[in-house]
């Protein structure tokens, strides 16, 4: 009987070990740029994580910021590359979840206000109050750099919400689309992630005879990797720490350039308290 008990325990142990090995680790990211660029970026990340972690890793694309938060909440993904606001929202829905890494540049992120040349608006260090009465497009409704922080400064400087400040307000869905809409003249002014603008400009995708940056926000914390608090239960003790170390030790120039970030550094939930405070202040989340 004792031998049978030992064998049964051994079988359970082996079965548990095999079940951990069979688990696929999944992650997603907010769709802040065109899909082809995201697939290129996160396909490289998936291959790197799979090699370093020793488990199957799959990138799961989503169609919206809200869908990224929902996938994280429902445990369809265990890790996500969130913006500041979407990360705050997701961690508020999943007990024990943590921000574990951010890009070096994400400590001091900024947004640009961009304007079509037909507006006559010029670059300035002061907030451009003459944007009042224009047509204006944000990015996604859940975007930190394309909605939250720009709206905060619009309310602060124009003393009214965007719906009252502008002739028409739109939400493009992503930063690349915002640039295209303002460049085409579909909207006169827009808010965009500075990284996406600078990369598009460097790639020759922006016609500066049609659209230009007119103002830059003060800096704020933004993008980060957020992990669910229950990953060690699914993938084994120490998995979260190993994942964090793996992200922080990314040195592959192609992966870093795809973000683009010079490196990844440590992050914690408290780093994003300013984002949470701002979201509460303008009514995007409850206090």
Residue 274: phi and psi, rounded to 5, are -60, -35
- So what's the pLDDT on residue 41? 86
Q: Which residues contact 111 (CB under 8 A, 6 or more apart)?
A: 145, 146, 149, 150, 191, 192, 193, 194, 216, 217
Cβ-contact 112, 213 below 8 angstroms:
yes
Q: Does residue 266 lie within any of the structural domains?
A: yes
Domain count, the chain: 2
Q: Does residue 184 lie within any of the structural domains?
A: yes
Distance between CA atoms of 112 and 143, rounded to whole angstroms?
13
Same domain, 197 and 238: no
- So what's the pLDDT on residue 163? 96
Q: Does residue 287 lie within any of the structural domains?
A: no
Last residue of a domain, one of 193, 216, 239: 216
Per-residue pLDDT of the chain (287 residues; tens, 9 = 90+): 554 454 444 444 444 444 444 689 999 999 987 788 888 889 999 999 999 999 999 999 999 999 999 999 999 999 999 999 999 999 999 999 999 999 999 999 999 999 999 999 999 999 999 999 999 999 999 999 999 999 999 999 999 999 999 999 999 999 999 999 999 999 999 999 999 999 999 999 999 999 999 999 999 999 999 999 999 999 999 999 999 999 999 999 999 988 889 999 999 999 999 999 999 988 888 87
CATH number at residue 80: 3.40.190.10
Same domain, 47 and 88: yes
Distance between CA atoms of 242 and 261, rounded to whole angstroms?
21
Distance between CA atoms of 104 and 79, rounded to whole angstroms?
19
Strand pairing report for 24-29 and 211-216: unpaired
Distance between CA atoms of 261 and 50, rounded to whole angstroms?
21
- So what's the pLDDT on residue 169? 98
- So what's the pLDDT on residue 282? 86
Q: Which residues contact 178 (CB under 8 A, 6 or more apart)?
A: 114, 137, 138, 139, 146, 172, 190, 191, 192
Strand pairing report for 98-103 and 224-227: antiparallel
Same domain, 19 and 72: yes
Q: What is the DSSP string of 112-152?
A: EEEEEGGG-----SS--GGGTTSEEEES-TT-IIIIIHHHH
Q: Which residues contact 88 (CB under 8 A, 6 or more apart)?
A: 272, 275, 276, 279, 285
Q: Which residues contact 71 (CB under 8 A, 6 or more apart)?
A: 28, 60, 62, 77, 80
Same domain, 17 and 66: yes
CB atoms within 10 A of CB 126: 7
Using alpha carbons, select from 185, 171, 176 the residue that is nearest to residue 138. Answer: 171
Distance between CA atoms of 171 and 168, rounded to whole angstroms?
11
Same domain, 122 and 151: yes
Last residue of a domain, one of 196, 216, 236: 216
User: 152 lies in which domain range?
Assistant: 110-216
Q: Does residue 43 lie within any of the structural domains?
A: yes
Same domain, 247 and 193: no
- So what's the pLDDT on residue 22? 61
Q: Does residue 286 lie within any of the structural domains?
A: no
Distances (CA, A) of 271 to 110, 246, 266: 16, 20, 10
Same domain, 97 and 236: yes
Same domain, 140 and 208: yes
This prediction has a pTM of 0.81
């Amino acid at each position: 009987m004792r031998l049978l008990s030992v064998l049964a325990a051994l079988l359970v142990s082996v079965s548990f070990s095999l079940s951990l090995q069979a688990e696929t680790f999944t992650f997603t990211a907010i769709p802040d740029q065109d899909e082809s660029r995201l697939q290129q970026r996160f396909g490289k990340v998936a291959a790197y994580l799979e090699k370093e972690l020793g488990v199957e890793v799959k990138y799961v694309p989503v169609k919206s910021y809200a869908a990224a938060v929902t996938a994280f909440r429902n445990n369809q993904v265990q890790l996500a590359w969130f913006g500041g606001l979407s990360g705050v929202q997701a961690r508020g829905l999943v007990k024990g979840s943590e921000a574990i890494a951010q890009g070096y540049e994400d400590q001091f992120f900024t947004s640009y206000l961009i304007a079509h040349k037909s507006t006559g608006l010029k670059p300035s260090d002061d907030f451009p109050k003459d944007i009042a009465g224009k047509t204006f497009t944000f990015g996604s409704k859940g975007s930190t750099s394309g909605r939250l922080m720009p709206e905060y400064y619009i309310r602060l400087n124009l003393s009214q919400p965007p719906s009252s400040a502008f002739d028409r307000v739109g939400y493009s869905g992503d930063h690349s689309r915002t640039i295209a809409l303002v460049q085409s003249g579909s909207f006169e002014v827009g808010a965009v992630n500075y990284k996406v603008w600078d990369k598009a400009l460097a790639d020759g995708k922006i016609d500066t005879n049609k659209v230009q940056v007119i103002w830059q926000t003060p800096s704020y914390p933004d993008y980060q990797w957020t992990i669910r608090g229950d990953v060690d239960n699914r993938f084994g003790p120490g998995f979260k720490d190993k994942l964090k170390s793996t992200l922080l030790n990314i040195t592959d120039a192609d992966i870093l350039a795809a973000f683009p970030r010079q490196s990844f550094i440590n992050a914690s939930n408290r780093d994003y308290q300013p984002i949470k405070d701002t979201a509460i202040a303008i009514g995007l989340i409850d206090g």
